[in-house]
Amino acid sequence: MHIKACLFDLDGVIVDTAKYHYLAWKELAERLGFEFTEAQNERLKGVSRMASLNILLEIGNIRASETEKIQMTNNKNKRYLEFIEQMQPDEILPGVLPFLESLKKAGIKAAIGSASKNAPGIIEKLQISHFFDAIIDGNTVTNAKPNPEVFLKGALALNVLPSECVVFEDAASGIEAALNGGMKCIGVGHSEILQNADLVISGFINFSIDRLMEL
């Protein structure tokens, strides 16, 4: 198949911000009086901030008013921003930069498709904005993954068809979003979690654009 564009999830694909999201949610859970494990955190990956809180409260069996929930998400985000404050380009996951460079050389377009409202700030800190022809993030999308909106908007911005795109995702909800949008999808992480992807890779080291043509 002929791939004209790659759409990248941000958290967990380009950079491991997932660990900082986890730490910030874990702190909130502890303040609310319960343990929040890394396995439970899998359910929050790719999920919007408020939807993540709702899952967390369900796990802790805790009820909260809308006002309290807004307060909790604000506090969580404040803490998350403190964690990522010092983030540097050296936190870009191994193999990502060479792969982005090879896309540019091959004339394959690239976009970010992230649920995060913090995506623009992170991309700036990582100094990688020049690699992307479009950035679609939590500020521009109303329907969260597994709804394909974020990736369909990406394809539209790049002026390519969904069937000409490959999505790179670390979350089960993101894999579903890509497939729901009629795109090919490469899972980045563990195959037990990302089993619905067309291909699962552990990371970008030794991953080359030739493999895109096998999809």
Site map 17..36 versus ligand B16, x via CB under 6 A: ----x---------------
Number of residues this chain uses to bind ligand B16 (CB under 6 A): 20
Would the CA dihedral through 13, 181, 185, 100 be positive or negative?
A: negative
Examine residue 114 and tell whether it contacts ligand B16 (CB under 6 A).
Answer: yes
From Mg ion, ligand B16, none, which one binds at residue 115 (CB under 5 to 8 Å depending on kind)? ligand B16
Angle at 204 between CA 79 and CA 176, to 5 degrees: 70
Does 12 sit near Mg ion (CB under 5 A)? yes
**Residues 92, 110, 134, 138: which binds ligand B16 (CB under 6 A)?**
138
Determine contact, residues 185/6, Cβ cutoff 8 Å: no
Site string for ligand B16, 175-204 (x = CB under 6 A): ------------------------------
Q: Which is nearer to Mg ion, 55 or 62 (CB)?
A: 55
Give 196's contacts (C-beta < 8 A, 6+ positions apart).
Answer: 172, 175, 176, 179, 185, 187
Q: Supply the minimum distance, in Å, between the C-beta of residue 204 and ligand B16.
A: 16
Output the six-digit token pair for 112: 């970010």
210 part of the active site: no
> Does residue 9 carry a catalytic annotation?
yes
Min CB(146)–Mg ion separation in Å? 13
* DSSP collapsed to 3 states, 7-73: EECCECCCECCHHHHHHHHHHHHHHHCCCCCHHHHHHHCCCCHHHHHHHHHHHHCCCCCHHHHHHHH
Nearer of residues 5 and 172 to ligand B16, judged by Cβ = 172
From 42-50, 85-93, 103-111, 128-136, give the range in contact with ligand B16 by CB under 6 A: 42-50
Q: 1, exposed or middle or buried, with CB in 10 Å at 0-12, 13-18, 19+?
A: exposed
Active site residues per annotation:
9, 11
**Chain residues that interact with ligand B16, rule: CB under 6 A:** 9-12, 21, 44-49, 52, 77, 114-118, 138, 171
